[in-house]
Chains A and B, each alone.
Chain A
Amino acid sequence: MKKVILKDSKYEIKKGRVVSVRQMTDMEKLFEIALPGNRSLDHEPGQFVEMSLFGVGEAPISVSSSPTKRGSFEMCVRKVGKFTNALHNLKAGDEIGVRGPFGKGFPVKLLEGNDLLFVAGGLGIVPLRSLINFVIDNRRDFGKVNILLGCKTPDDMLFGDEVENWQKRIDVSFNCTVDRSDPDWKGNVGLITSLIPGVTLAPNRTFAVVVGPPIMYKFVIGELLTKKIPSRQILVSLERHMKCGLGKCGHCQIQNYYCCQDGPVFSYDKIKNIKEAI
C-alpha cells in the first residue's frame, strides 16, 4: 500500500488559535478563534464549522458571531462529552483545528426589507446570534425586528450582556421567558410558544427564524402558521449527527437532503412534507 501526502483534501484542517475563553454558564463557554493572519472565516450567518482537536476528534459547531465581526469568530459550546470536554480545557493561545464553514446559512439577501421574528429556544440562540447581530449591524436594511428568547431557568440564559443591549434598543423589540423562574426573575414564565400570540406582525412581510431543540419546532411552527406566516417565510435550522460536513458520510441525511450541505437552514415549506425532518 502506497501512502502519499495530499494537498487538497477536504479533511485537512486550518489551524486556528484560541484568542479568549469566557465561561457563560456552568455548561457553556464562549470561544473566540482567530485564523492565521487574522483572516476572516467568511461565513454566512447560520453556517457551522467542524472544530477539531487531534487525539480527541471533531465536532460540528455553529459559528455564533456575525460575519460583520472581522478578524476572528466565536462559538459557544456546551460540555456534553469527550470532544466538548476537551474543548472546555482550552486556554487562550492554544491551537485548534478548523474545517469549513459548511452548509447553507440564513438567506440574508432574501430577508432584506422584511420584518423579522426571531424565536430562539435554549442553545438555539447560539447559531441565531450570528444572524441577530448581523441584522443589528445592518439595521437599516431590515424592517421591524422582534426577538423571542426562551430558556429553562434564568441561570441558563446565554449572552446576558448582549441580550440586555437588545432589550434596550429602540429598533428591536424583545421578549423572553423561562420554563422555571427564580425569586429574582421579573419576566415571563412559560414555554416559548406562549410568547407568540402576543406579537403583532404583518404576516405577508414577516420572516420567522426559528432555532431550538427538536421538540420545539412543531409547536412554534404551529403558532406561526396560526399567525398566517406563509411556510415559505418560516426558516429553521436543523441539527443532525454529522461526521464529514461534505454530503458523504450519510449521518445527517434527511430523505433527499443532506443537512450538512443542503442545510442546516431550511425554509419550512421545503421540509414540511419530509418525514423525519422535524
Chain B
Amino acid sequence: MQYAIINKDKVDDFITRLAVQEKVYAPVARGYDNYSFEEVTSGKNVVSGRYIPTILPPKKYFMPQRETLLEYNLTEGQNMNAVVEYEKMAIFGVHTCDLAGIQAMNMVFSEKPADINYLIRKNKITIIGLECIEYCDQNASCTLVHNHLPNGGYDMFFTDIGDSFFVHVATQAGEEIIEKTKVFYDADAPHMRLLEQVRERKKKIFHDEVPIEYHELPELFQKSFDSKVWDNLDSRCIACGNCTAVCPTCYCFDVKEEPDLSLVQGKRYRIWDSCQSEPFAKVSGGESFRKMQGARQRHRYFRKFKYQFDKYSRPHCTGCGRCTRACMAKINLKETLNALIAEHA
C-alpha cells in the first residue's frame, strides 16, 4: 500500500495503537500558542491539525541537547568506553520545514568524518510527516526555501484532505506501521484528486514571502558581508542564544566533562553551544575573530544562507520562523532578508 487513507476520527486510535509498539513523540499544545514535541501514549492531546512550529524542533531527538560520548574510569589510567545513547521511536506530526531541518542535519553528520552517534540514532527513528495546508503564522518563510511542499525525508506523510488524511507510505517502516495499526485503507482515484486540489490551493496561499529567488540567496549574501544591516543587529542583539537553540539546522556543540563525586569515574559529553556567545570563537591569546555581536549575527545568517548553501547545495534555513518567534530583541529573519535585499539587490 503506497498511498493510504485514514479517517480523521481514527487518528487518536492510530497514535494509541502505535504507542503500544514503540515510543511515540508528537506535538502537544503548551499554552500561549506554544507547542512542543513530547512523548504521548494516546492520541488524546496530540495536535494533528494546524500548529505553529514547536518551541524546539525534532532535532532534539536526533541530537540530544546533552549527549554522553565517553564513559571513563581512572582506576588504572585513562580507560574509557565510547558510547551511543538511542531510543527506538516514532515522531508523529513533523512539518515539511522540520523534515528539511532533519535532512540538513543528516547531510552534516553523514559527511566524512561521519558522526556515528548521530547516524545510529537517526536509524532508530521513524518519521511521520504532516503537511501544512495554511501558513502557521506570518513568521514562516518556507516557500522561499522550497520547504512548503514535502521533499521526502519521511517514512509516512499525512495530508489533510477534508474528512481524512491522505498518507504517502514511503518506506518499509511506514508499511509495517500500516500493517500493525490496522486503521488505514487504500487510497483511490477520488482521494488522489482531493490531494491535487489541496496542493493547487496551497499554490495560491504559499508564495513569495520575501522578494528574492531561492538560487539568488547565496549571491545576495556574497554581496552583504559589509552591510549596514549587521551594524543594526549589533546594537539590538543581546546574545541570548535563543535563535540558535531553536533553529532546526543549528548543531554546534561544546565538549565537556562530568566527573562523579569520587573523581574516579565520569563522562565526557557534548552539549548544544551557540555561535552567539562571546567565547565561542575566542582563541588562546584572547583574540576573538567575531568580537562584535553584529559579526556573530552575520555568521549565523551566513551559515543559513551562504556557507552551508555552498557546501551542501541547500540553504540551512528551513523557513520555520522559530528564530523570529524566539528572539528577545525582536530580530526578524524576514525583515533582515528584506533589508539586505533593499540594500544590495
Contacts and interface: CB of A to CB of B under 8 A. Distances in A.
A94 to B, nearest CB: 8
B283 A239 contact: yes
B255 interface: yes
A12 B116 contact: no
Interface string A242-278: 0110111111011110000000000000000001110
B70 interface: yes
B281 A247 contact: no
Interface in B18-34: none
Contacts of B287: 213-215
B266 A55 contact: yes
A27 to B, nearest CB: 12
A257 to B, nearest CB: 9
B83 A6 contact: yes
Contacts of A254: 289
A241 B280 contact: yes
Given A12-B80, A213-B287, A54 B275 contact: no
Contact of B285 (A97, A213, A247): A213
Contact of A251 (B83, B252, B266, B284): B252
A97 B72 CA distance: 11
A240 interface: yes
A250 B279 CA distance: 13
B302 interface: yes
Nearest to A16: B78
B268 A54 contact: yes
A225 interface: no
A157 B299 CA distance: 38
B254 A243 contact: yes
B68 A3 contact: yes
B236 interface: no
Contacts of B289: 214, 240, 254, 276-277
Interface stretch (B105-113, B138-146, B329-337): B105-113
B77 interface: yes
B285 A53 contact: no
A185 interface: no
Given A9-B117, A54-B74, A249 B111 contact: no
A210 to B, nearest CB: 16
Given A4-B84, A15-B78, A248 B69 contact: no
Contact of A250 (B85, B251, B257): B251
Contacts of A96: 78
Interface size class for chain A? 35 or more
Interface string B268-298: 1010010100011111110101100001000
Interface string B250-267: 011111110100010010
A146 to B, nearest CB: 26
Interface residues of B, number: 55
B113 A1 contact: no
A248 B116 contact: no
Task: Name B's interface SS.
Answer: mixed
A214 B108 CA distance: 29
B256 A57 contact: yes
Contacts of A213: 285, 287
Given A55-B259, A57-B257, A5 B78 contact: no
B316 to A, nearest CB: 12
Contacts of B251: 248, 250
B240 to A, nearest CB: 18
B70 A12 contact: yes
A64 interface: no
A1 B82 contact: no
B97 to A, nearest CB: 21
Given A80-B284, A247-B113, A9 B253 contact: no
B194 to A, nearest CB: 41
Contact of B257 (A1, A55, A95, A239): A55
B87 interface: yes
Interface in A1-26: 1-13, 15
A58 interface: yes
Nearest to B255: A243
Contacts of B310: 256
Contact of A6 (B84, B87, B270): B84
Given A9-B117, A96-B78, A57 B255 contact: yes
Contacts of A255: 302, 307
B225 A253 contact: no
A52 interface: yes
Given A96-B78, A250-B273, A250-B275, 17 more contacts: A1-B87, A3-B84, A10-B116, A12-B80, A54-B80, A54-B257, A54-B259, A54-B266, A56-B257, A214-B287, A249-B273, A251-B254, A251-B281, A255-B302, A256-B310, A276-B295, A277-B289
15 contacts: A4-B83, A6-B81, A6-B82, A15-B77, A54-B70, A56-B257, A57-B255, A241-B281, A244-B255, A246-B113, A249-B255, A250-B252, A251-B280, A253-B299, A277-B289
Interface of B: 68-70, 72, 74, 77-78, 80-87, 108-109, 111, 113, 115-117, 120, 225, 251-257, 259, 263, 266, 268, 270, 273, 275, 279-285, 287, 289-290, 295, 299, 302-303, 307, 310-311
Interface of A: 1-13, 15, 52-58, 78, 80, 95-97, 213-215, 239-241, 243-244, 246-251, 253-256, 275-277
Closest 8 CB pairs of A and B: A250-B252, A9-B82, A95-B77, A54-B72, A6-B82, A12-B82, A11-B69, A55-B259
